[in-house]
Amino acid sequence: LEDRGVKVLLLDGADEKFDGFSCWANETVPVVATGTGKPGDRQRFTLAHELGHLALGLEDAEDPERLAHRFAGAFLVPREAALREFGTRRGHLSIPELHSLKHKWGLSMQAWLHRLHDLEVITDSTYRRAMMRFRQEGWRTKEPGKQVDEVRTDRLVRLVEQALAEDLISSSRASELLGQPLHAARAAWPQGLE
């Protein structure tokens, strides 16, 4: 998203019930936001959902949330990719299979279920049974197994590092632009790159 000109905000300290929002800055710059401290698959879906609101202009739509959800699923896993992973018709899905694809595509298991239902790969009853299991197991808010790493935004850091490397700005100006000391911004880098 950042490489396509969308401003992505990750908000620290947002209420846990906050999923995301979107807007147009200066009526020309798309902005999408989500909170930190959530699994990366949930953050990715929220950002894609918010992009759907902006891209589709859903203000006057009959069911804008459903449409934005459908957009997010298609944006993150296009039809051809979903059919390549699952085929055109499935009667049963396994939790390990969904978990594996969650990590391959960064899309939650529940979002996979929605996507497969939208594409009619699974029936209404298969979808309902699977979602009932997620509710019964308490997996609606935290899915089983290893979680997908949180989303990171790094475009601003890359631009500041580029300007610093080209001697266009000082390290104090870099710290000012990043809103923190340069060494603190670099602390998140892999070992040995500081």
Write the Ramachandran bin of 69: left for phi over 0, alpha for psi from -120 to 50, otherwise beta: alpha
CA distance 160 to 174: 6
Structure token digits, residue 96: 């390990």
pTM beyond 0.95: the answer is no
- Which helix H or strand E contains 7, and what residues bound it? strand 7-11
Helical spans, DSSP H, in 18-108: 40-56, 64-76, 79-86, 95-105
Q: To 5 degrees, how large is the angle CA 59–CA 62–CA 68?
A: 65
Stretch 36-58: mean pLDDT: 94
Q: What is the pLDDT of residue 156?
A: 75
Residue 12 pLDDT class (50, 70, 90 cuts): confident
Exposed, middle or buried: residue 31 (CB in 10 Å: 0-12, 13-18, 19+)?
middle
Stretch 12-35: mean pLDDT: 91
- pLDDT tens, position by position, 103-156: 999 999 999 999 999 999 999 999 999 999 999 999 998 899 999 999 888 777
Structure token digits, residue 46: 């929220």
- pLDDT tens, position by position, 151-179: 888 777 788 888 888 998 888 888 887 77
Residue 61 pLDDT class (50, 70, 90 cuts): confident
Do 116 and 90 meet the contact criterion of CB atoms below 8 Å apart? yes
Residue 185 vs residue 22, higher pLDDT? 22
